[in-house]
A and B are shown apart, each in its own frame.
Chain A
Amino acid sequence: MGLLLPILLTAGAPLRAEAPVSKEYQVKAVFLFNFAQFVQWPPKSFTSAGDPFYIGILGEDPFDAFLDETVKGEKVDGHPLVIRRYGNVEEATGCQILFISRSEAGRMADILSSLKGRNILTVADSGNFIENGGVVYFVTEGKKIHFKISLEAAKQAKLTISSQVLRLAQIAGPGKE
């Protein structure tokens, strides 16, 4: 019976009828924005102090304009956040965070192997991601979004993830699962 209330209360259509993106991806977009602040990239990732910080989306974009709105006007250590959309992985090698869309789930192993050695925080919510060397994997648990982090993959990409993120994550890795 306790479940009824949330269902009842959330059953309605949104007040903002124009909101185009599912809440799931709104929250994931804000997570990506947070990751930009809680992860440290090696200094060589940027050639100059004012270089953009790129968050890339590989494959079909589930965020619509929401991710762009989220990072609009935001900076990380002086680097303005910029969203890039990529059709194939070769274009994506210059970004700092790469969200790999569900449309690419079947090619996860190939995509991740071609990113090996890059200083990229790879993020996905589909496919055999962690097993193939991805870093952050979104899981929907119950009704909430949680994430798994592969410390080994983060280490290979030379990324330092804040303990504020790690303590909330499930630690996973190719060797663990």
Chain B
Amino acid sequence: MRGCKKNLAFLSLIFCSFCFSPAGAQVPNPFPTPSPTPSPTPLATSNGPMSSLKKMSLEELMNLDVTSVSKQPEPFGQAPAAINVITNDAIRRSGASSIPEALRLADNLEVAKASSSGWDITARGFNTGLANKLLVLMDGRTLYSPLDSGVFWNVQDYLLEDIDRIEVVSGPGGTLWGANAVNGVINITSKDAKDTQGAYVEGGGGTQPQDFGGIRYGGKLDADVYYRFYGKYFDGANEVLVDGSNAGDPWRMGQGGFRIDDEGDSQNHFTLQGDIYDSAVSSTAGDGESAGGNVLGRWSHNISADSDLSLQLYYDHTYFNAPKTQAHLGPFVSAPAGVFADSLETYDLDFQHHFHWDGANNFIWGLGCRITHDLVTPAPSLTFQPTLLDQGLFSFFAQDEFELGNDLFLTAGSKVEHNDYTGYEFEPSGRLKWNLAEAQMVWAAVSRAVRMPSRIDHDLEEPTPNLVPFGIKELLIGGSDFESETVVTYELGYRAQLAKEFSTSISTFFNNYSDIRSTSSTPSGPLGLLPLYFQNNLEAQTGGVEWTVDYQVLEGWRMHAGYDLLQENVWVKPGQTDLNNALNETADPKNQVFVRSSMDLPGDLELDPAFRWVDSLTYNYNAGVPGVVPSYAELDLRLAWHPIKDIEISVTGQNLLHDYHLEYAAGGPFEEIQRSVYGKLACRF
């Protein structure tokens, strides 16, 4: 809901800003994506594989991936990329009650809460409206919407207890993942059904969320066939307007699902899983609903010790409707109120094959095919043309990793993708990894990635039915010749386990963007302006640093710090125009600081404070006139007690430093995020 609400908010913003300045040209900035961040959180601290393995519990040992050719306990420690891994334990100890909240644990993301159900999340900048340069996957299922390339975070939920990990890569991932992996990739992985056996129940409430409950049961269908099913719901409280008054936007959601894993032999692994959800959110415009479901099957097959393949097929259906208030052009009502709805069906098939070859090459290739069937139900002020659109996305990729010399490895490959708007797109990358000493690595990469057009870029229409007698048919439309946005990224990073207790990672990047979305006017049209339409008239360069440090102070006490720097420079191509003065695509903090502590106290207590400071961000207030969201500092604090092993009682306070604070602004009215406290009881049996 949040998503659709946000989406619509964006659209109405475009409209609203226009009505604020009828003579002026303003155009909103449709989608953002942003943020800089630093990196890795070691899964286990150690100066060698043995010492880290020995510290692990039996459960942790059983959860290690051991099939990799790598001989390190922390596989991600070797990845030549800017990657953060959020573990199940880190999510639990953070007190996060939703996936977007858990993403605050990834230092290499910008996470801004815009309303009770609305989130704006990106990596390395471009966080306006709906960030559109991020690829998000849940168990292999793509979550971004082809409607606007954004993710409706309000309907991406799961029983957090059953999430195994969230991998967050900042920087392009187009070579392996393809379209939309421009600024980053978020990969959410749920636990194998084998690892969620038995019953789990949680419940609680407070000021935000007001009340919630979840239940999971896992069992065996056969000797090596495991299943689980789960259900959860929550009631989210409203947030407040800038003056502290109730924003009237409570939301609630229920979700249920299952997962079956057949691990009958070491050669084959079958997974079948599915979820359904329903969500309702209110706003001043009225009530809206989101609902959907998905089912996914995957077959992984080990051909030999050096070769494996996987085949995955899924179906996903998402639906949302959202009220639209009447639209205005200056003092005139341009369109009556109504309801906008979107129904999207996705069929996706993925195949990949990975093998070692010739002793020195680690090769992976794959094929993908995605068919979408999107049906829009227009509101008087908002539609997409055509309202019904079937699209196909076909892709092929290949990548090889090989040793160039002593301790020096090169990974090179490309994806080739064909979409209905722009045809073939190429997304090559080369990555160099140098193991310069024991547990120290330097890496460098050059990559190209593409954001292909989404329906909003190409098919959007904001009709003005009431103004047709005056010759005005639309305010804003998509660009029929809208092209893909592209980036070429240069990265350099260093990661090290400098001592048993101390690890650090630093990633730097320079991005060169072409053909970023802009808004143009029609001088020959009504008012010398209308309709406004999308073009690719912007270019941009961004650069930044993402730095993390992890320090095990004592046996049961761990500290983490992260810092991000992001410099953005966006300009209009010479000889071209943008009604938003190149302001609409970015709303990003230049600096972010994170400090977290995770402490085990006597008496089976856990204490986890998390501090963050987020710099001010500049957004497109109106037609290229900037607005500013001030910088803020906030503190979350969680205290948990385990009276017996399988029971956990916790209290989590979030955003404790202020009664309410603003994190994000686009469209309006702006909402601020309140201090909140909730309690939770979780039992396992």
- Does B354 interact with chain A (Cβ within 8 Å)? yes
Q: How close is B350's CB to chain A, nearest CB, in angstroms?
A: 5
| Contact of A4 (CB < 8 Å), options: B72, B78, B176, B438 | B176
Q: Are A141 and B66 in contact (CB under 8 A)?
A: no
The stretch that binds A, out of B53-61, B335-343, B419-427, B452-460, is: B53-61
- Does B368 interact with chain A (Cβ within 8 Å)? yes
Q: How large is the interface on B (under 10, 10 to 19, 20 to 34, 35 or more residues)?
A: 35 or more
Q: What are the residues of chain B within 8 A of A141 when measuring CB–CB? A: 194, 224, 263, 266, 269
Within 56-79 of B, Cβ neighbours of A (below 8 Å) are at 56, 58-59, 61-73, 75-79
- Does B409 interact with chain A (Cβ within 8 Å)? yes
| Contact of A30 (CB < 8 Å), options: B53, B300, B407 | B53
Q: What are the residues of chain A within 8 A of B59 when measuring CB–CB? A: 168
Q: What are the residues of chain A within 8 A of B69 when measuring CB–CB? A: 10-11, 13
Q: Are A144 and B62 in contact (CB under 8 A)?
A: yes
Q: What are the residues of chain B within 8 A of A6 when measuring CB–CB? A: 65, 68, 75
Q: Are A26 and B70 in contact (CB under 8 A)?
A: no
Q: What are the residues of chain B within 8 A of A43 when measuring CB–CB? A: none
Tell which of B75, B137, B142, B223 has the most Cβ of chain A within 10 Å. B75
Q: Are B300 and A3 in contact (CB under 8 A)?
A: yes
Q: How close is A145's CB to chain B, nearest CB, in angstroms?
A: 6
- Does A164 interact with chain B (Cβ within 8 Å)? yes
Q: Mark A5-45, 1 if CB is under 8 A from B, else 0.
A: 11111111111110101111011001101100010000000
- Does A86 interact with chain B (Cβ within 8 Å)? no
- Does B109 interact with chain A (Cβ within 8 Å)? no
Q: Are A26 and B50 in contact (CB under 8 A)?
A: yes
Q: Are B61 and A27 in contact (CB under 8 A)?
A: yes
Known: A16-B439, A30-B53. A8 touches B79 (CB 8 A): yes
Q: Mark B342-353, 1 if CB is under 8 A from A, else 0.
A: 000000001010
Q: Are A11 and B142 in contact (CB under 8 A)?
A: no
Known: A16-B72, A19-B71. A4 touches B62 (CB 8 A): no
Q: What are the residues of chain A within 8 A of B81 when measuring CB–CB? A: 9
Q: Are A24 and B66 in contact (CB under 8 A)?
A: yes
Q: Is the interface of B mostly helix, strand, loop or mixed?
A: mixed
Q: Are B62 and A12 in contact (CB under 8 A)?
A: no
Q: Are A22 and B71 in contact (CB under 8 A)?
A: yes
- Does A142 interact with chain B (Cβ within 8 Å)? yes
- Does B140 interact with chain A (Cβ within 8 Å)? yes
Within 411-439 of B, Cβ neighbours of A (below 8 Å) are at 411, 433, 435, 438-439
Q: What are the residues of chain A within 8 A of B399 when measuring CB–CB? A: 8
- Does A76 interact with chain B (Cβ within 8 Å)? no
Q: How close is B73's CB to chain A, nearest CB, in angstroms?
A: 7
| Contact of B137 (CB < 8 Å), options: A2, A7, A24 | A2
Q: Are A145 and B64 in contact (CB under 8 A)?
A: yes
Closest to A21 in B: B71
Closest to A34 in B: B58
The stretch that binds A, out of B185-193, B536-544, B558-566, B610-618, is: B185-193
Q: Are B61 and A15 in contact (CB under 8 A)?
A: no
Q: What are the residues of chain B within 8 A of A27 when measuring CB–CB? A: 53, 61, 64, 66
- Does B578 interact with chain A (Cβ within 8 Å)? no
Q: Are A34 and B79 in contact (CB under 8 A)?
A: no
- Does A48 interact with chain B (Cβ within 8 Å)? no
Q: Are B310 and A10 in contact (CB under 8 A)?
A: no
Closest to B440 in A: A15
- Does B401 interact with chain A (Cβ within 8 Å)? yes
| Complex CA distance for A34 and B62, rounded to whole angstroms | 12
Interface size in chain A (residues, C-beta < 8 A): 45
Q: Are B53 and A26 in contact (CB under 8 A)?
A: yes
Q: What are the residues of chain A within 8 A of B354 when measuring CB–CB? A: 7, 11
- Does B49 interact with chain A (Cβ within 8 Å)? yes
Known: A4-B177, A168-B59. A12 touches B71 (CB 8 A): no
Q: How close is A108's CB to chain B, nearest CB, in angstroms?
A: 17
Q: Are B439 and A13 in contact (CB under 8 A)?
A: no
Within 234-252 of B, Cβ neighbours of A (below 8 Å) are at none
Q: Are A13 and B403 in contact (CB under 8 A)?
A: yes
Q: Are A2 and B139 in contact (CB under 8 A)?
A: yes
Q: How close is B273's CB to chain A, nearest CB, in angstroms?
A: 11
- Does B4 interact with chain A (Cβ within 8 Å)? no
- Does B83 interact with chain A (Cβ within 8 Å)? yes
Q: Are B61 and A10 in contact (CB under 8 A)?
A: no
Q: What are the residues of chain B within 8 A of A16 when measuring CB–CB? A: 48-49, 71-72, 438-439
Known: A139-B266, A168-B59. A3 touches B140 (CB 8 A): yes
Q: Are A12 and B50 in contact (CB under 8 A)?
A: no
- Does B441 interact with chain A (Cβ within 8 Å)? yes
Q: What are the residues of chain B within 8 A of A177 when measuring CB–CB? A: 223
Q: What are the residues of chain A within 8 A of B433 when measuring CB–CB? A: 12
Q: How close is B262's CB to chain A, nearest CB, in angstroms?
A: 10
- Does A47 interact with chain B (Cβ within 8 Å)? no
Q: How close is A97's CB to chain B, nearest CB, in angstroms?
A: 15
- Does B80 interact with chain A (Cβ within 8 Å)? yes
Q: Are B185 and A5 in contact (CB under 8 A)?
A: yes
Q: What are the residues of chain B within 8 A of A170 when measuring CB–CB? A: 223
Within 621-660 of B, Cβ neighbours of A (below 8 Å) are at none
Q: What are the residues of chain B within 8 A of A7 when measuring CB–CB? A: 352, 354, 364
Q: Mark A91-115, 1 if CB is under 8 A from B, else 0.
A: 0000000000000000000000000
| Complex CA distance for A9 and B74, rounded to whole angstroms | 10
Q: What are the residues of chain A within 8 A of B435 when measuring CB–CB? A: 13-15, 17
| Complex CA distance for A51 and B368, rounded to whole angstroms | 61
Q: Are B61 and A70 in contact (CB under 8 A)?
A: no
| Complex CA distance for A11 and B357, rounded to whole angstroms | 13
Q: Are B50 and A15 in contact (CB under 8 A)?
A: no
Q: What are the residues of chain A within 8 A of B403 when measuring CB–CB? A: 13
Q: Are A143 and B176 in contact (CB under 8 A)?
A: no
Known: A30-B53, A142-B300. A14 touches B61 (CB 8 A): no
Q: Are B269 and A142 in contact (CB under 8 A)?
A: yes
Closest to B497 in A: A15
Known: A11-B411, A16-B49, A16-B71. A23 touches B79 (CB 8 A): no
Q: Are B78 and A14 in contact (CB under 8 A)?
A: yes
Q: What are the residues of chain A within 8 A of B68 when measuring CB–CB? A: 6, 10-11, 23, 143
Q: Are B61 and A34 in contact (CB under 8 A)?
A: yes
Q: Are B169 and A15 in contact (CB under 8 A)?
A: no
| Complex CA distance for A22 and B64, rounded to whole angstroms | 13
Q: Are A23 and B401 in contact (CB under 8 A)?
A: no
Q: What are the residues of chain B within 8 A of A60 when measuring CB–CB? A: none
Known: A3-B140, A4-B352, A16-B48. A145 touches B73 (CB 8 A): no
Within 209-257 of B, Cβ neighbours of A (below 8 Å) are at 223-224
Q: Are B58 and A15 in contact (CB under 8 A)?
A: no
| Complex CA distance for A24 and B223, rounded to whole angstroms | 23
| Complex CA distance for A144 and B164, rounded to whole angstroms | 13
Closest to B441 in A: A15
Binding site for B on A (CB under 8 A): 1-17, 19, 21-24, 26-27, 30-31, 33-34, 38, 66, 69-70, 139-146, 164-165, 168, 170, 177
Q: Identify 27 residue pairs between A and B in the complex whose beta-carbon atoms are under 8 Å apart, listed by A's number.
A: A1-B350, A2-B187, A3-B298, A4-B352, A6-B65, A6-B75, A8-B364, A9-B78, A10-B78, A11-B362, A11-B411, A12-B80, A14-B435, A15-B440, A16-B49, A16-B71, A21-B71, A23-B68, A23-B72, A26-B73, A27-B61, A27-B66, A33-B54, A142-B192, A143-B68, A144-B64, A144-B66
- Besides A1-B140, A2-B138, A23-B66, 7 new A-B residue pairs in contact (Cβ under 8 A), listed by A number: A3-B298, A3-B310, A4-B364, A6-B68, A11-B411, A12-B80, A142-B261
